Chain A
Amino acid sequence: MRESDKHDVDSAPVVDRREFLKISGAVVVGIGVGNIAAGQAQGGLQRGLVSGPPDPAAIDSYLAVHANNTASIYLGYVDLGQGGPTALCQVAADELDLDFTQVSIVRNDTFMSTNGFTAASRTAGIGGVETRVAAAEARRVLLGLASERLNAPVQELTVAKGVVSVKIAPQRSVTYGELLGDKPFNRKFEPVRFNQLGEAMPRTGADIAPLKPSSEYRIVGTRVPRPDMLDKVRGTYEYMQHVRVPGMLHGRVVWPQGQVAGAVSPPKVVGIDESSIKDIPGVRIVRRQNFVGVVAEREWDAVRASRQLKVTWEAFPAVLPGHEGIHDSFRQATTRDIVVFNSGDANAAFNQPGLRVASATYRGPYEAHGTMAPNCALADIKADSATVTSSSQSLFQIRDTVAQLTGVPADKVRVQYYPGSNTYGLSCYTDVAEAAAIMSKEIGTPVRVQLSRQDEFGWDNYGPAHLADMRGAVDANGKLVAFEYQAWGYDGNGVGTASRLLALGVPQGGGRGSAGGAAAGPGGGASGVAQGGNLVGGLYQIRISQNDMYDVPSRRLIEHRLDGRGYLKLGPLRAPLDPPYFFAQEGMIDELAHLAKLDPWEFRKRNISNPRWLGVLEAAANAAKWTPRVAASNVSSARVVTGRGIAVGTHHLHPNQGDRVTFAAAVVEVEVNKDNGRVIAKHVYGAMDCGLAINPGIVESQIVGMSVHGTSLALKEELQFSQTNVTSLDWNSYQTLRCGEAPDVTPIVVQRLNEKSTGAGEEVLPAVVGAIGNAFFDATGVRLRQFPLTPRRVLATLKSAGA
């Protein structure tokens, strides 16, 4: 790897051979396709390296065809470890009539890629559409060229593996590479535009290339193995954490141990005792206002200097409610109350005679992203240009924030993607890229900053705590009559990133809008959306308000929005707010089923008419060999008892994802030990209908991962904080599910070849959390309405119920 090239703006793009390795079935042989790497480099050069995003109406912005008859795609969706780009290669290969092995993705780079924002299950749902349309347009151009070359009308041509031939005279043929190899298309087309809901708008022009019908898919819908796995198992995959450049120094930040209420009072440095690190030669301290970092030639010197450096901070304000007091503090807070939805007359509906009514309060905690790899970034800030490597979900957002912090014009900032570990939303990748930029600018050399585990946990953008007052009514026939959801939560994030808070001294953005606000960038209309925004506001204008999950005549949704500025950094965390939402909703549905003396699946069947919701419920229930009975009808006095729960789930996005809805359901079997309070999920059956599953194998992998992650949320994860600081700083003080207690998982993909792909990375997660809550009730006859279901909480709940 040419390390020196990586930070030279004028150099060839960094291409990564591993992207082009393909695993053939179960036979593990690395086929190093070096000529593809060479072709890609040429493709990039021929198109030129210019600050993006590129013209969304130009074919050359999306893909290039190389002389060796392969293609590269330049889409801005990154691989967060979940395999999304593999699916995009499948889409491109199918539409271009290439083999999967003939298509690869260029490393994401703001000087090469389109402006994708890899979040919220957008890769398949939006990136897939962009890929398919651009590939179809490219194929049309290539067929036009072939028609001239072969002197035959387009309709008499056929294509296989990038070889165009005359149907009745196959010996007359030409390859894509011969037609256009490494030359630009120079062709505009009408790109797909997406409305605020993320729905693809119909294209208006008559001159558009037709898309293949699903009956002609050859690669889409099949289980292509992920091409990244070989390098990942043999230790040759290059993560962000591995990137090094010549002349680079190692940097570490010195932030307060555990985030404080930064929006109330940004941390202030009172003094730095430089003598505290005098035994470590060559370390330099970087300070910009209250941002403190250390840099050193050797990484270990930077690490120990960051631990050893004595920084005195002004006393932190003791204003946090503590993790135990968070929900009570919601009740006492001043809120902005909004009736988001009110259908029918809920009050009158609840007062009808003959109904069974249930009401209860459900609670969910703050949670951390808990990335396996604390975030890392490398920045080389020069006077008039900058290069940054980052594992951000939005490279253009990193470009803009680095430009603001360093004064380098945005179009002179080049950001390249290297994968980190899983992120599952806004972990500290922006914070660390900014830290690297601040330190490189001060020191004048490239600086690589690796956050510590404590930095990452302590300054994460947490998934916010949630409080839900639920009320529901059911009639004598087991039909839902009225449903009310009152939600308490923060109205966004008022802190921004740690680096900005410390270096600029002011909280960012006000009550709403979070660190990701600048994501779209100019020209990013095709694929950029602002990240963050108000996490609570709008989130609940969801299925409860659209009559396609439960059929309820009267429903009401009220939000009690708290000013978020006083508390902690918040940010989207895989299926933002859906776990507490579905824990509450599906818990209340279960309570109503129990009041109606109906089996929980039967109750859902009576109250759902949309066949796709019914489809995933049936798939999960059948896999679990569900036999009908009322919940908690088998409660025993044994000390270790078992139960099962069922729930639906999806991912709610703001702006509401419109027709990009994925349907999920889960059945979970649990074991509850009444002596030690331990709950173990023994088996999760997770079913998902994400429309057309481009790669059912990858979707199954996602279901497995979400089932385990959901179990971890339901049983383990809870951020701890005192009145002044976050105190969950490592894997002991932030618990996560481990192998010993992991459930077996049966993943079920409900394939819908003729429906649009809607995303598959988030939706089973909340269903699992809901199903575990319901399974606990089935096992014990006691409802625990706060997750995680920790031993302490379980024992207290069982004790107060006399069970």
Chain B
Amino acid sequence: MAELQLQVNGKRSTLNVDPATPLLYVLTDDLALKGPRFGCGLGQCGCCSVLADGLEIRSCITPVSRVAGKSLTTLEGLPAYYAARMKVTPAPELHPLQQAMIAEQAVQCGYCYNGQIIKGAELLFKTPQPTEAQIRTAMNGHICRCGTYPRIVAAIHRAAKEMAEANRA
């Protein structure tokens, strides 16, 4: 066990944990967050994704010690992180991609949507106007067994468009 400092969604927490503990169990059990969730424990499906300094990582296979000192963002903190990074005031209730997922009525069971939205948001930060091929490549590591991929792709296109329009305005 060791004392570790984590910064999650802008808040600092001091935790006394085995440093080898995968980040996911700290987020769900110690910090009671519901965004990142267990899907495979193998880094294969993307249900557990979070942003570490803006980059998507798989929290189920990332030892918590490796992210001490990084700024972590979970789905719950995504709108605030987006607002700070894109200098949007006031901070919106939802990230444009979260809005777009609802507008497309994309979600079914929603279990994989933590990762779909985290990964899609990462893509939109890096590539504000992604092509269809860029979207499909970026999202290929996030499995959806409800088969909602066509609407996820549509929602990313929609969010990109709305972000561009907001920028112009």
> CB-CB < 8 A to A23: which residues of B?
102
**In the complex, are the beta carbons of B150 and A742 less than 8 A apart?**
yes
A701 close to B (CB within 8 Å): yes
The B80-98 residues at the A interface (CB cut-off 8 A) are 93-94, 98
**In the complex, are the beta carbons of B39 and A373 less than 8 A apart?**
yes
Tally of contact residues, B, Cβ under 8 A: 59
**In the complex, are the beta carbons of A731 and B108 less than 8 A apart?**
no
**In the complex, are the beta carbons of A300 and B34 less than 8 A apart?**
no
**In the complex, are the beta carbons of A371 and B145 less than 8 A apart?**
yes
The B121-157 residues at the A interface (CB cut-off 8 A) are 135-137, 139-153
> CB-CB < 8 A to B139: which residues of A?
739-740
A225 close to B (CB within 8 Å): yes
> CB-CB < 8 A to A241: which residues of B?
37-38
Closest chain B CB from A392 CB (angstroms): 15
A366 close to B (CB within 8 Å): no
Closest chain B CB from A601 CB (angstroms): 24
**In the complex, are the beta carbons of A421 and B109 less than 8 A apart?**
yes
Residue-wise, chain B 37-76 has the 8 Å CB interface mask toward A (1 for contact) of 1111110110100000000000000000000000000111
Tally of contact residues, A, Cβ under 8 A: 63
A260 close to B (CB within 8 Å): no
Residue-wise, chain A 673-710 has the 8 Å CB interface mask toward B (1 for contact) of 00000000000000000000000010001001111110
**In the complex, are the beta carbons of A708 and B109 less than 8 A apart?**
no
B117 close to A (CB within 8 Å): yes
Closest chain B CB from A146 CB (angstroms): 37
Given A28-B94, A373-B38, A453-B40, answer yes or no on A233-B105 (Cβ-Cβ < 8 Å).
Answer: no
Closest B residue to A744 by beta carbon equals B150
CA of A274 to CA of B107 in the docked complex: distance in angstroms? Answer: 45
> CB-CB < 8 A to A244: which residues of B?
29, 32
A372 close to B (CB within 8 Å): yes
> CB-CB < 8 A to A235: which residues of B?
33-35, 74-76, 114
CA of A370 to CA of B117 in the docked complex: distance in angstroms? Answer: 21
**In the complex, are the beta carbons of B94 and A705 less than 8 A apart?**
no
**In the complex, are the beta carbons of B34 and A236 less than 8 A apart?**
yes
B112 close to A (CB within 8 Å): yes
CA of A745 to CA of B20 in the docked complex: distance in angstroms? Answer: 43
**In the complex, are the beta carbons of A229 and B28 less than 8 A apart?**
no
Given A234-B75, A730-B42, answer yes or no on A739-B153 (Cβ-Cβ < 8 Å).
Answer: yes
Given A300-B22, A420-B111, A739-B136, answer yes or no on A233-B150 (Cβ-Cβ < 8 Å).
Answer: no
Closest chain B CB from A155 CB (angstroms): 40
CA of A704 to CA of B94 in the docked complex: distance in angstroms? Answer: 25
B21 close to A (CB within 8 Å): yes
**In the complex, are the beta carbons of A704 and B148 less than 8 A apart?**
yes
CA of A732 to CA of B109 in the docked complex: distance in angstroms? Answer: 22
Closest B residue to A452 by beta carbon equals B41
> CB-CB < 8 A to A242: which residues of B?
28, 34, 37
A564 close to B (CB within 8 Å): no
Residue-wise, chain A 221-245 has the 8 Å CB interface mask toward B (1 for contact) of 0000110111011111111011010
CA of A731 to CA of B145 in the docked complex: distance in angstroms? Answer: 11
Q: Which of A79-87, A106-114, A621-629 contacts B (4 or more CB under 8 A)?
A: A79-87
**In the complex, are the beta carbons of A422 and B109 less than 8 A apart?**
yes
> CB-CB < 8 A to B7: which residues of A?
none
Closest B residue to A453 by beta carbon equals B40
Which residue in A30, A226, A421 is a CB contact (below 8 Å) of B145?
A421
The A365-379 residues at the B interface (CB cut-off 8 A) are 370-374
Closest chain B CB from A765 CB (angstroms): 10
CA of A419 to CA of B108 in the docked complex: distance in angstroms? Answer: 12
> CB-CB < 8 A to A705: which residues of B?
108, 146-148
CA of A230 to CA of B95 in the docked complex: distance in angstroms? Answer: 12
A364 close to B (CB within 8 Å): no
**In the complex, are the beta carbons of A239 and B105 less than 8 A apart?**
no
CA of A469 to CA of B141 in the docked complex: distance in angstroms? Answer: 38
Closest B residue to A450 by beta carbon equals B38
> CB-CB < 8 A to A737: which residues of B?
147, 149
**In the complex, are the beta carbons of B76 and A233 less than 8 A apart?**
no
A792 close to B (CB within 8 Å): no
Closest B residue to A732 by beta carbon equals B44
CA of A23 to CA of B94 in the docked complex: distance in angstroms? Answer: 13
A26 close to B (CB within 8 Å): yes
**In the complex, are the beta carbons of A81 and B140 less than 8 A apart?**
no
> CB-CB < 8 A to B145: which residues of A?
370-372, 421-422, 424, 709, 736
> CB-CB < 8 A to B102: which residues of A?
23, 26, 28, 225, 229-230, 233
**In the complex, are the beta carbons of A704 and B39 less than 8 A apart?**
no
Closest A residue to B99 by beta carbon equals A28
B18 close to A (CB within 8 Å): yes
> CB-CB < 8 A to A81: which residues of B?
108-111, 146
**In the complex, are the beta carbons of A707 and B147 less than 8 A apart?**
yes
The A20-61 residues at the B interface (CB cut-off 8 A) are 23, 26, 28-30
A167 close to B (CB within 8 Å): no
CA of A421 to CA of B151 in the docked complex: distance in angstroms? Answer: 18
CA of A233 to CA of B99 in the docked complex: distance in angstroms? Answer: 8
> CB-CB < 8 A to A238: which residues of B?
34
**In the complex, are the beta carbons of A697 and B105 less than 8 A apart?**
yes
Closest B residue to A711 by beta carbon equals B147
CA of A299 to CA of B22 in the docked complex: distance in angstroms? Answer: 10
CA of A450 to CA of B29 in the docked complex: distance in angstroms? Answer: 13
> CB-CB < 8 A to A740: which residues of B?
136-137, 139-140
Closest chain A CB from B102 CB (angstroms): 5
**In the complex, are the beta carbons of A299 and B29 less than 8 A apart?**
yes
Residue-wise, chain A 209-231 has the 8 Å CB interface mask toward B (1 for contact) of 00000000000000001101110
Given A373-B47, A731-B143, answer yes or no on A422-B108 (Cβ-Cβ < 8 Å).
Answer: yes
**In the complex, are the beta carbons of A704 and B150 less than 8 A apart?**
yes
**In the complex, are the beta carbons of B142 and A372 less than 8 A apart?**
no
Q: List 10 A-B contacts (CB under 8 A).
A: A23-B102, A234-B94, A244-B32, A373-B37, A705-B148, A708-B148, A740-B136, A740-B139, A740-B140, A742-B150
